[in-house]
Structures are given as structure tokens and as C-alpha cells.
């Protein structure tokens, strides 16, 4: 059985999730914005990668 070591990735994502959640909840003024902020906090890595690729390759037409 092969050993895998990737536990630190989960810790980084967890800390990033908490940080993003705090960031988005500061601006929340309604229940809808709380739900939207929670969903944004879940997918923040995908958003960052998208923006990095958009800046590197340019906007997709």
C-alpha cells in the first residue's frame, strides 16, 4: 500500500475557507448575501485560479 502525504493541503484550504468566510460575512447585510458569501467562500480557490489564468492569457471571448 502506498503512503500519501497531503494533509497540509486540507489545512491550507480550511484556513483559506475561514478567512474568505470572515471576509464575505463582513459585507453581508441580508440573508441572501450571507448565503452568497458562504458559497463564495467554498469556491474561492477556483475563482483565484480563474482570475490568474484570465490575467495571464487574457479574457475569453
Q: Is the pLDDT of residue 61 over 70?
A: no
How large a percentage of the chain has pLDDT more than 70?
85
Give 6-31 pLDDT, tens digit per residue: 667 778 888 888 888 998 899 889 99
Count CB atoms within 10 A of the CB of residue 12.
Answer: 11
Our CA angle for 33, 43, 6, nearest 5°, is: 145
Nearest to 40 by CA among 59, 26, 54: 26
Q: Which residue has the cell 482570475?
A: 51
Residue 51's Cβ-side half-sphere holds a number of Cα atoms within 13 Å equal to: 6
pLDDT band at residue 51 using 50, 70 and 90 as cut-offs: confident
Over residues 39-44, the mean pLDDT reads 89
Of 51 and 2, the one with more pLDDT: 51
Amino acid at each position: 500500500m502506498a503512503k500519501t502525504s497531503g494533509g497540509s493541503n486540507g489545512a491550507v484550504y480550511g484556513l483559506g475557507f475561514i478567512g474568505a468566510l470572515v471576509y464575505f460575512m463582513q459585507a453581508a447585510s441580508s440573508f441572501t448575501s450571507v448565503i452568497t458569501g458562504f458559497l463564495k467562500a467554498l469556491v474561492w480557490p477556483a475563482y483565484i485560479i480563474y482570475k490568474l489564468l484570465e490575467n495571464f492569457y487574457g479574457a475569453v471571448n
